[in-house]
Amino acid sequence: MCLGIPGQVITVDRTENWAVVESFGVQKKVSILLIDEEVIPGEYLMVHAGCAIGKINDADYAQETLELLKEAYLDKQE
């Protein structure tokens, strides 16, 4: 099973085709080669294995998904 995690775009380098995204307070450089639309800081991307696999056009949905993941997994680690 694969799991994509929403990440909020912090910076973008379209020349090199990467973006820095943040999820759960962690920033990660990811490839945006699979995204055929413009990627803008503040937007959300679905990230899997170091690659953005799609854009999330609804920021509320992305936040809700992050909260559910945190509740399901991260809160259980304490």
Per-residue pLDDT tens digits for 31-52: 999 999 999 999 999 999 999 9
Among 3.10.620.30, 2.60.34.10, 2.30.30.140, 2.40.110.10, name the CATH number for the domain at 5-77: 2.30.30.140
Residue 78: pLDDT over 70: no
pTM of the shown model? 0.85
Average pLDDT, the chain: 91
In the block, which residue shows the tokens 């973008």? 12
User: Model confidence at 63, in pLDDT bands (50, 70, 90)?
Assistant: very high
